[in-house]
Structure 1
Amino acid sequence: MMLIKAGLLIDGTGGPAQAACYLAVKDGFIVGRGQAGDFAADQVAAAVDYSAYTVMPGLIDPHVHLFLEGISDQKVRTLRWKEDKETTLIRAVKNLALTLKQGVTTVRDLGGPYGINSLVKKAINQGVVSGPRVLTSRQAISITGGHFHYAGGREADGPDEMIKAVREQAKGNADCIKFMMTGCVNFVRQDAGFVELSLAEAQAVVNEAQRLKKPVAVHANGIDGVRQALAVGVTTLEHGALIDEDTTDLITESGVYWIPTLVPFERMLDYGRTHQAKTLPEDNIESVYLRHQSMVLRAFQAGANIVAGTDAGALGVMHGDMWREICLLVECGLPPSAALQSATRLSAQAIGLGDEVGTVETNKRADLLVLKGNPLKDIACVRNIVKVLKDGKEYPND
């Protein structure tokens, strides 16, 4: 058994931080928690001393694409869609290492080509490579020619084909089902285009996923797309830009986990400010982003489940950028404690791992971050990583 001494423990539950707390770790799990007097004197003397640091749960990113890097160069980025399987796999392994180094101990990959996400999940589980715990949707489901079909997506049309597409992902050991209700935001028109799936198609996806006991993630933007996603009963709402106040009320009432992915909007705005790109005009991006931020804050204040997620692999978004997503939630108006929970406890619940990870509690996995500073006082401290532990094993942050 290993005993860890934390100078300050933020356990992710939302309770008050605890000073001079000890954690007992055995076989990758937290088996005890308390003060020095709760443990034998020889164990306390041999404790791993993090008394100068803050200890908190490992971060969980529920929206990544491991096959793709956060490339800002548009020409280079276009070539990534055409890369061979072997090179893409090597890049994904590199992205896994970068993710863990940044304190993210669990990720959910929401779609990519060649079955790469399933391969890296298997490699992680078998201990072949190091990286965060991986959940995956395998292929993202879209209509023929729909959003993300070019990135190894599963194209399907009509309820029957949608059902078959869901079953294929389940057969491949997908942890969840991902489908594309709409396209991306069009910053020139400042809209989300048309709703790509019919109501019957979307309902077929959700019904079959639920029958197979798989949670459902949906990419949706715009009022109509988000409302249809809520109507069919998805588990997590990805992005959700360009909505209005009434729609945020529906999000709150539905109990869905909303993953607004703020970092991609910030990075696109940065790109628009430094490049002459017709599709990414600075003023329009800023307008959409400010609206998105205000809707996130409104939903949070009403009691919605706001979950941090990066969409790593999107334009300019690197793997491990969860620290920035957390900071942006604070910039939106969330208290630091709530922002941290959005990347730990709530994120774990959103992906179905609430009983295993997300908080520092007895009988949960010992996924821990050791930080310099107190993120409850300065949220930027979440980036000051001294050590990462996954299943009780230490990974140096070189």
Structure 2
Amino acid sequence: MLIKTGLLIDGTGRDAQAACYLAVKDGFIAGIGKAEDFAVDQVNAAVDYSTCTVMPGLLDPHVHLFLEGISDLRTRSLRWKEDKDITLIRAVRNLALTLSKGVTTVRDLGGPYGVNSLLKKAVRQKVAPGPGVLSACQAISVTGGHFHYAGGREADGPGEMLKAVREQAKAGADCIKIMMTGCVNFVRQDAGIVELSPAEAQAAANEAQHLQKPLAAHANGVAGVRQALTIGVTTLEHGALIDEATADLIAEKGVYWIPTLVPFERMLAYGRQHQTRTLPPDGIEAVYCRHQAMVRRAYQAGAKIVAGTDAGALGVEHGDVWREICLLVECGLPPLAALRAATGLAAEAMGLGQELGTLETGKKADFLILAGNPLIDITSIRNIVKVVKEGAEYPDA
């Protein structure tokens, strides 16, 4: 298959190419070039998308497929109590929704019942339509720590941390997820205590490195983020309530920072519409504005900012990467950099840079065809004409 493009954004961060052709064969990209680079009969038979933009499929390295982005606290609280079968059915629906919005690969960072591993297998065996799935299996926390209620693995002391990491690897985890801190408290506007001790955190990091598994750390606040940077995490998740020196340190350490702006934006919208004790709009706005400022600071310092949504968080639907991209642009990232944050750079953060994330010869043919030019109007990232995964058009992908 040869596709004639109006504009091609390859996800590497390089300038877009106008009026070129993309060749696809057996699910992989077979070539990119001008008309003269291909046989005349191929060019004559090319599928014409010369009025559209072609770019890589989006990646989301921070999702929770078992949970929907419910915008109601009471309804949301019931989801933690559902049985495995219903949870699995909901998650399968979330898979299809994700792919329909142009997200062709996700990384699930924790959930109950082994659902994320089942979904990974189902997609690979083409039992269920959806994006490619990487899984952390269970998120690891201290006893009673953050996310323990969502099927997390509770562990105390360096020895138990080491065993917990090995258990996830045994279960087929593609990465390891640790909960360094809890959630942001919007009433006090702080990140609470650092839940993992330095020894516990380092034990988890050492074993993840030994097993050659990327390490993702949920961390907020200066102390929690600095401890995550000290032990050598691969990806820093959230990272709210930090200061300028810590933002600069993120850039210096070269970690991939996934600031998950969408949940903060969605919580602010919820807080403004509903009166709740835990989500005061003034407190959320103060935290969110600081978070945006630190993302801007870190990017200017050269940090690797990656788009991720925390899909399943309050009000955050699966496939909402488009929204995260737009918010990164609001934080000062140029559109080309924001798109790379959800394509080539995201693939690197997930350890998939050699396989996908960019439109280059030999990589998987995961790409989107868009109406409009997202370099001129970033919101046109939503104007999806076609989703192609491994060379097949959705919904048949």
State the Cα deviation string for residues 302-329 of structure 1 (Å, max 9, x = none).
Answer: 1000000000000000000000000000
Query: TM-score normalized by structure 1?
Result: 0.99
Distance in 2 (CA, whole Å) between partners of 1:266 and 1:4 is 37
Question: In structure 1, what is the equivalent of residue 373 of structure 2?
Answer: 374
TM-superposed CA distance for 1:365, in Å, is 0.6
> One-letter code of the match for 2:385?
V
Distance in 2 (CA, whole Å) between partners of 1:120 and 1:46 is 37
- Whether the 8 Å contact between 1:61 and 1:108 is mirrored in structure 2 is yes
Question: In structure 2, what is the equivalent of residue 255 of structure 1?
Answer: 254
- After superposition, residues 150-189 of structure 1 pair within 5 angstroms as 150-189=149-188
Give the ranges of 4+ consecutive aligned residues of structure 1 lying more than 6 Å apart after TM superposition. Answer: none
State the Cα deviation string for residues 127-178 of structure 1 (Å, max 9, x = none).
Answer: 1011000001000000000000000000000000000000000001100000
Distance in 1 (CA, whole Å) between partners of 2:349 and 2:13 is 17
> One-letter code of the match for 1:314?
A
Distance in 2 (CA, whole Å) between partners of 1:357 and 1:280 is 39
Question: In structure 2, what is the equivalent of residue 90 of structure 1?
Answer: 89
- Whether the 8 Å contact between 1:53 and 1:371 is mirrored in structure 2 is yes
TM-superposed CA distance for 1:109, in Å, is 0.2
TM-superposed CA distance for 1:396, in Å, is 5.4
TM-superposed CA distance for 1:73, in Å, is 1.1
- Whether the 8 Å contact between 1:63 and 1:109 is mirrored in structure 2 is yes
Question: In structure 2, what is the equivalent of residue 46 of structure 1?
Answer: 45
Question: In structure 2, what is the equivalent of residue 32 of structure 1?
Answer: 31
Identity %: 77
State the Cα deviation string for residues 313-349 of structure 1 (Å, max 9, x = none).
Answer: 0000000000000000001111101100000011000
Question: In structure 2, what is the equivalent of residue 324 of structure 1?
Answer: 323
Distance in 1 (CA, whole Å) between partners of 2:34 and 2:248 is 43
SS state at 2:374 partner? coil
- Whether the 8 Å contact between 1:386 and 1:396 is mirrored in structure 2 is no
> One-letter code of the match for 1:382?
I
Distance in 2 (CA, whole Å) between partners of 1:57 and 1:349 is 14
TM-superposed CA distance for 1:27, in Å, is 1.1
**Is 1:19 the equivalent of 2:18?**
yes
- Whether the 8 Å contact between 1:11 and 1:361 is mirrored in structure 2 is yes
Distance in 2 (CA, whole Å) between partners of 1:63 and 1:360 is 22
- RMSD of aligned alpha carbons: 0.8
Question: In structure 2, what is the equivalent of residue 191 of structure 1?
Answer: 190
- Whether the 8 Å contact between 1:293 and 1:332 is mirrored in structure 2 is yes
Distance in 2 (CA, whole Å) between partners of 1:246 and 1:20 is 44
Question: In structure 1, what is the equivalent of residue 80 of structure 2?
Answer: 81
TM-superposed CA distance for 1:24, in Å, is 1.0
**Is 1:109 the equivalent of 2:121?**
no
Distance in 1 (CA, whole Å) between partners of 2:371 and 2:254 is 35
Question: In structure 2, what is the equivalent of residue 229 of structure 1?
Answer: 228
Distance in 1 (CA, whole Å) between partners of 2:282 and 2:380 is 31
Distance in 1 (CA, whole Å) between partners of 2:92 and 2:53 is 29
SS state at 2:20 partner? strand
- Whether the 8 Å contact between 1:239 and 1:259 is mirrored in structure 2 is yes
- Whether the 8 Å contact between 1:387 and 1:396 is mirrored in structure 2 is no
> One-letter code of the match for 1:101?
S
- Whether the 8 Å contact between 2:94 and 2:318 is mirrored in structure 1 is yes
Distance in 2 (CA, whole Å) between partners of 1:118 and 1:193 is 31
> One-letter code of the match for 2:230?
A
Question: In structure 2, what is the equivalent of residue 362 of structure 1?
Answer: 361
State the Cα deviation string for residues 200-249 of structure 1 (Å, max 9, x = none).
Answer: 00000010000000000000000000000000000000000000001011
SS state at 1:312 partner? coil
Once the two structures are overlaid, the 10-residue window that deviates more, 8-17 or 310-319, is 8-17
Distance in 2 (CA, whole Å) between partners of 1:141 and 1:187 is 24
Question: In structure 1, what is the equivalent of residue 71 of structure 2?
Answer: 72
Q: Any stretches of 5+ residues in structure 1 without a counterpart?
A: none
Distance in 1 (CA, whole Å) between partners of 2:74 and 2:36 is 61
SS state at 1:241 partner? coil
> One-letter code of the match for 1:171?
K
Once the two structures are overlaid, the 10-residue window that deviates more, 23-32 or 254-263, is 23-32
Distance in 2 (CA, whole Å) between partners of 1:245 and 1:40 is 55
TM-superposed CA distance for 1:37, in Å, is 1.1
Distance in 1 (CA, whole Å) between partners of 2:8 and 2:368 is 10
Question: In structure 1, what is the equivalent of residue 384 of structure 2?
Answer: 385
Question: In structure 1, what is the equivalent of residue 294 of structure 2?
Answer: 295
> One-letter code of the match for 2:197?
S
Distance in 1 (CA, whole Å) between partners of 2:152 and 2:172 is 16
TM-superposed CA distance for 1:13, in Å, is 1.3
SS state at 2:19 partner? strand
Question: In structure 1, what is the equivalent of residue 2 of structure 2?
Answer: 3
Q: Any stretches of 5+ residues in structure 2 without a counterpart?
A: none
- Whether the 8 Å contact between 2:129 and 2:395 is mirrored in structure 1 is no
> One-letter code of the match for 1:72?
S
SS state at 2:104 partner? strand
Query: TM-score normalized by structure 2?
Result: 0.99
Question: In structure 1, what is the equivalent of residue 308 of structure 2?
Answer: 309
Question: In structure 1, what is the equivalent of residue 118 of structure 2?
Answer: 119
SS state at 1:387 partner? strand
Distance in 2 (CA, whole Å) between partners of 1:132 and 1:50 is 23
